Amino acid sequence: MIGILFTIFAPIIGGFVYGFERIIKARMQSRVGPPLLQPFYDFFKLMDKRALMIHSLHALMGIMYFISEWFAFGVLILGHDLLIAVFFHVIAVLALVIGASSVRSPYSVLGGLRELMHMISYEPLMVLMVIAFYVVTGSFNIENILHFDGYPILQLPLVFIAFVLTIPMLLQKSPFDIAEAHQELIGGPEIEYSGPFYEALYTGKWIEYLYVFTFVFLFAGSHYIVGAFLVIGVFLFINLLDNSTARLDFRRMVKFAWALLIPMAALNVILLAL
């Protein structure tokens, strides 16, 4: 029941998370920051704007990105199998990349291609993480993990660290905000969207926050309070990282993921399975 509510209200909850994040970020930079409801004010403003598009395919892919992201989150929360939820996320990436590639704008196309590099960095690691959960809890089912008596994080410290360092890739945070790269690609895949279509993409991003932090929450098993602290801690850490680091080259990102994070996670799984 809670799962269904969570799924239905995902865009709204995601909006609050995003608003909160903007405040946190501002405070870290000694600014006051926007009000908590700013994302919703933006929503109303963008919906009110004149709808402009490059062509229907491009606009449609923005909307499909939002729907796929929402659906992937639903599969994660309501579904039974974490692995399937990971693969559902690829559908959202597909919509984003197809949309980004469909316009005659180098910023957008380059952003789409870089999005693929993001995927090659985090996708294998997420699969490994799901397997790590299976090794610890004996199930791929989210229900069983949420009722697991121990703390998975104690047995999966390296996987946890690896995943936390992957979150910037998933959420487009510095130092891995390579596809969006506001100063050089001006948003990458987002640049050519405007008005309501941009709002769809924007809301999709809020849901991605929930999608990612649900995985963090799972690291505490059935100890929901610890899970909540984990989520808040990781959230603060990611923002701190975002504020204090400069963007890296995409090659560095791929190398970092493949040379450090994936072996690290694999090592943890091997040690556990032995």
Partner 1 sequence: MELFVTLNIVLPWIIALIIFVAKKDIITNSLTFVTLPLLGVTAYFAYIQATPVLIETPKWVDVLMVVYDFGLLGYFFYQGIIKKSFLVTILATLQIAFLIIVMLVIEHSSTANLYVDNITTMFYLIVAIIGVPIAIFATKYMEYDEKDKHKFVAIVIWFLGVMNFAVSVNNIEWFFALFETTTLASFVMIGFRKDKEATNNAVLALWMNQIGGVAILMALLILIKVNGVYHFTDLLKNPTAISLAALGFLSLSALVKGAQLPFHKWLLGAMVAPTPVSAILHSATMVKIAPYLILRISPIIKGTLLAKLLIITTGYVFVVAAVIALTQDNFKKILAYSTISLLGLMMLSAAVATPIAITAALVLIIFHAFAKGFLFVEAGVLEKVFHTKYIQDMRRLIEKAPLTLMFIFFGFLNMTFVPFGTFIGKWMMIEEVSNFLSHGSYILLVLYVGAGSAFLSILYMKVLGVSVRKSHGISKVNFVKLPFRFNFVSVWYYLWLLAITIFIAPFITDFILPIVNSISSTPEIYRDGLSLHMYDSILPFWQISGALGLLLLIHALPYFIHFKADVTHPYNCGETFPKHMGTWSFDCLAKYEGHFIAFSIALFIMVVVLGGGLL
Question: CB of residue 121 vs partner 1: minimum separation in angstroms?
Answer: 9
Question: From the list 140, 146, 161, 264, which residue makes contact with partner 1 (rule: CB under 8 A)?
Answer: 140
Which residues within the stretch 42-101 sit at the binding site for partner 1 (CB under 8 A)?
50-61, 64, 67-68, 71, 75, 79-81, 83-84, 87-88, 90-91, 93-95, 97-98, 100-101
Is residue 146 within the footprint of partner 1 (CB under 8 A)? no
> Helices 106-137 and 82-101: crossing angle, nearest 10°?
180
Question: CB of residue 62 vs partner 1: minimum separation in angstroms?
Answer: 11
Q: In the complex with partner 1, which residue's Cβ is closer, 29 or 56?
A: 56
**Residue among 57, 146, 122, 67 nearest 261 (CA):** 122
Q: Measured between alpha carbons, how far is 200 from 65 in angstroms, rounded to an integer?
A: 8
Is residue 135 within the footprint of partner 1 (CB under 8 A)? yes
Q: In the complex with partner 1, which residue's Cβ is closer, 2 or 274?
A: 274
Is residue 155 within the footprint of partner 1 (CB under 8 A)? no
Is residue 23 within the footprint of partner 1 (CB under 8 A)? no
Question: CB of residue 259 vs partner 1: minimum separation in angstroms?
Answer: 13
Residues 6+ apart with CB under 8 A from 110: 185, 188
How far is Cα of residue 80 from the mean position of the Cα atoms in its chain?
A: 20
Q: In the complex with partner 1, which residue's Cβ is closer, 85 or 153?
A: 85
Q: DSSP letters of 102-148?
A: TSS-HHHHHHHHHHHHHHHHHHHHHHHHHHHHHHHHS-S-HHHHHT-
Q: Measured between alpha carbons, how far is 77 from 210 in angstroms, rounded to an integer?
A: 10
Question: CB of residue 58 vs partner 1: minimum separation in angstroms?
Answer: 8
Return the C-alpha torsion angle 240, 181, 190, 20, nearest 10: 10
Which residues within the stretch 200-239 sit at the binding site for partner 1 (CB under 8 A)?
none
Question: From the list 38, 134, 222, 243, which residue makes contact with partner 1 (rule: CB under 8 A)?
Answer: 134
The structure tokens listed for 109 are 């196309």
Is residue 178 within the footprint of partner 1 (CB under 8 A)? no
